[in-house]
Amino acid sequence: MQPNQRKRVVSSCIPCYTRKQKCNRQYPCNHCSRRRRPEQCAYNPTHATLPPSPPQAQKDHLNDDEIQTDDSQQDPQTERRSSASSSFPDTVCWGGLKEGREPTSLAEVFGYFEDSKSNTIALVRKLGAHDDETGHNNETVPVPYETAIITQKMFDSMPNRPILDFLVRYFVAEVSWMDQLIYPPWFLSQYQKWWGIDRTSTAYGIEFAVLVLRICSYASQFLPSPTCTIDSIRGVPLADIRKSCDGVADALTHICSQLDTRGSLIRVQHVAFVGLRSLCQGRTNAHWEALSCAVRVAQRIGLHVDITSSFYSPNMDELEKEMRRRTFCNLYVWDSILSKRLDRIPFLPDVLDPDTMPRMHLVLDIDDVPQADAPDLFTERVLEARLANFWRTHVSEKPTEYDPIAAEERYEKFCSQFLPDIPPVFALCPDTYNEWDSRLATLPLQRQMFHMAILESLCHNFRPALFQDTSSIQQLPAYKQILLSSHKRALAVIALSLLEGVSTLHLMMGGSHTRHASLIIPTFEAAVILLCLCSDENFPPKAETTLSGRSTATTMKSSDLFRVGVTDVARDECVQAVRSALSRLQTLADVNHMAEVGARTLSRLLGKIKNMDHTAVNDSTNNNALVIVDTDSIVAIDPALQLSEAWSCLQTPNYAELEFFADNPPTSDMSVFSWF
C-alpha cells in the first residue's frame, strides 16, 4: 500500500461491518431491524462515518409520544417549518416505539395494558404464558456496548458534579415544596446511589440521569432568588447550565425510549418536570403536551391501578409504591386544573379511585416531636386532589348554560361536605397555625396555595354568570335574576380575596421577581373577572331587600370564611385591585414572558374600562340617567331587580317555584341565599 493512499472509509454500522453484511447506512439499518436488534445499530463516532440524516419528513413528524421542549436550539427556518404542524418548536421522544423499531411482545403489538386483571392479556397469562412472551420484563434493562459508549460521552458533557449538587440542594430546599413531585429523602438517597454505580450499564442509570438534569434545569429557573442572589455557579452562567442540562437530557431521553419502550416511574417524573419548566417559561400548551405524555407513560406502567395488584414485582418496596401513588396524585391535580383552565377534555377520569391515593404518613425529622404528630407536607397535594375530585364530580350537565340554582347547590355542598373535612393545619381559620408554622418553613406557603386553589375553584363555579347576556337575564324569573345578581357580587368578593391571597403569597416568597406560575395565572384571571364585572353598568347593584325584610348590605355570617356575605362591594375597590394586579404582573414581566403578555392584555382592558367610565358620566349628565355617584362606589339602580317590584311585575306567578323556596330552606350557614 502506498503511503499517500487514502484509507478506506467505513460507512456501515458496527454490527453489519462485523458480520460483513451490506448495510443501507440508515438508522436503524435494514439488517439490525430484521434481526430485531435496532438498539444495537450504531456507527463509529468519526466525522466520515456518521450516519446520514434521516429524511426531512421523518424529522418533522411527531409520533404519539413526541413533544417539543426547547426553542433555543433551533434555527429560524426549522422553527417556522415545525410551527406549521405544531405549536412547539423542538421535539424529543418521551418513550414508546420509534419508527423503524419493530415491536416484539404481545403487549407492544396489540397495545394491551400489561398489568390488567380484566383484558385479554390477563387471560393469556392465566393460560400459562410467561412475562417475557406477553409484555415488559421487570428486570433491569441492559445497555448495549455501543450505546454505553455514546452515553458516556454525553455524561462527560454534563455540568460537573459540584454544579449539579448545588442545584439539587437548592431544589430540595427552595423549590420542591411548590409541586411535591418527588419526596426529597427518597430522591436524595437515589441520587447518592446513582453517583456510585456504573451509570451507563443499565437503562435505569440513564433514565435517572435525565431526571437529575430535568430537576437541575427546572431549579435554575428560580435563580437568582432572595435567598440565593447569584447568576452563575462556579463561574458558569445559569443560561449555559440550563442549555447543557436540557441538551444532554434530550439526547439521553431518546436513548432511554429505545432501551425501554414501556417506561418507568422515573420517566413519568422527568417528563412532568419538562412540563413544569415549560409553564415557568410561559408555554402552557407545552405543559399540556408534556402532561399528556406523562399520563400515557403512567398508564403503561400502571400508576392508575391499585398497587396491590398481583402482577407487580414482589421486589417493589412500600416506599416505591407510595412514590407511585404520589406521582399519580400530582398528575390528577394538574390534569384537573389545566383541563378546566384550557377548556379541554381531561386525560384522567373524573372519579378519583381511593386505591390510587397516597397512604403513608411521611414527615421530615423534627426535633422533640413524635413523627405521628407532625403534619405530612404532601397533605396539601392530597387536598388539592380531593378539591379537584369534588368539582369534577359536581359539574353541570350543560356547561354552556348557567343555572343559578345549580350553582348555589354546588356551593352549599362544597361548604357542607368538603370544608369540614380539611385538616386543622390547613384549615381556613387562622387560630391553629402557630403550632407548626415555626417548625416547618414551607407549611404556611403550602397552606396559602391551597386556600388560593379553593378561591379559584369558587371562581370557576360562579364565573359562567358573566356570560349571560341581558336578553337572557330578562327572561329569567325574578328570583333567579336576584340570585344571579348575588352570584356576581359573590364572584367579585372571591376575586378580590384571590388577589389578596396572591399578594400575601408573593410577600411570603420574598416579594421579588419569580417565574412561579401560581402567582401569575391567578392574578391575571382574577383581574379579568373584576374587569368584566366593572364593565357591567349595573354593577355593583343596589342592596336588595330579602324575603325577611333585611338589607343585603348588612348581611354577613360569622361563618362566612370567604367574605362572600360582604355585598357592599365598591366598584372603585375592584378597579384599584386590578391596578395592583397589573403592577404585580409588570414587575414579574422582567423575568417571565407569561407575566409580560398578561400585563399587556390587562393594561389594554383597563384602558377600555376607563373609556367606558367617561362615556357613562357624559351620558348621565346629558340624559339625566338614574345613576348615583359618590366617593365610595358607583351604583346603577336596576328596578327590575328590586324584589318588591319583581313580584308585582309577574302577571301569572309560578307557584311551583315559590313552593321550592318554601320547602327547601338553606342547609348551610354559608349559603348565598343569606346574602339577600
Per-residue pLDDT tens for 313-362? 566 788 888 999 999 999 999 999 999 999 999 999 888 888 788 888 88
Residue 232's φ and ψ, nearest 5 degrees, are -155, 160
- Residue with the bigger pLDDT between 261 and 122: it is 261
CB 69 within 8 A of CB 286: yes
Q: What is the pLDDT of residue 512?
A: 84
Q: Which residues have a Cβ under 8 Å from the Cβ of 304 and sit 6 or more positions away?
A: 298, 328, 348, 353, 356
Kindly tell me if the per-residue pLDDT of 485 is higher than 90. no
Residue 253: pLDDT band (50, 70, 90) is: very high
Alpha-carbon distance of 350 to 333, in angstroms, equals 11
Least confident piece of the model among 387-391, 592-596, 646-650: 646-650
Give the three cell numbers for residue 497: 380575596
Cβ density class 626-638: b for 16+ within 10 Å, e for less:
ebeeeeebbbbeb
The pTM of the full predicted model, rounded to 2 decimals, is 0.74
CB 481 within 8 A of CB 641: yes
Residue 431: pLDDT band (50, 70, 90) is: low
Element (H, E) at 153: helix 145-156
Residue 367's φ and ψ, nearest 5 degrees, are -65, 135
Q: What is the pLDDT of residue 98?
A: 41
Least confident piece of the model among 59-68, 264-273, 508-517, 560-569: 59-68
- Residue 202 bridge partners (DSSP): 142
Q: What is the pLDDT of residue 373?
A: 63
Give the three cell numbers for residue 275: 412540563
Mean pLDDT, range 392-408, rounded to an integer: 79
Nearest CA among 298, 314, 301, 294 for reference residue 107: 301
Written in H, E and C, the secondary structure of 605-633 is HHHHHHHHHHHHHHHHHHHCCCEEECCCC
- Residue with the bigger pLDDT between 161 and 101: it is 161
Q: What is the pLDDT of residue 472?
A: 83
CB 486 within 8 A of CB 675: yes
Residue 130 exposed, middle or buried by CB count within 10 Å (0-12, 13-18, 19+):
exposed
Q: Which residues have a Cβ under 8 Å from the Cβ of 205 and sit 6 or more positions away?
A: 194, 197, 198, 199
Residue 135 exposed, middle or buried by CB count within 10 Å (0-12, 13-18, 19+):
buried
Give the three cell numbers for residue 398: 350543560
3-state secondary structure of 166: helix
Question: What average pLDDT does the chain have?
Answer: 76
Q: What is the pLDDT of residue 125?
A: 74
Residue 522: pLDDT band (50, 70, 90) is: very high
Question: Per-residue pLDDT tens for 92-149?
Answer: 444 443 443 456 677 767 777 666 677 787 788 778 776 554 445 434 667 888 999 9
Residue 180: pLDDT band (50, 70, 90) is: very high
CB 173 within 8 A of CB 179: no
Residue 87's φ and ψ, nearest 5 degrees, are -90, 5
Torsion over CA: 460, 462, 466, 471 (sign): positive
- Eight-state DSSP code of residue 575: H
- Residue with the bigger pLDDT between 131 and 452: it is 452
Alpha-carbon distance of 454 to 498, in angstroms, equals 9
Kindly tell me if the per-residue pLDDT of 626 is higher than 50. no
- Residue with the bigger pLDDT between 21 and 8: it is 21
Give the three cell numbers for residue 166: 448545588
Residue 308: pLDDT band (50, 70, 90) is: low
Kindly tell me if the per-residue pLDDT of 611 is higher than 50. yes
3-state secondary structure of 92: strand
CB 645 within 8 A of CB 479: no
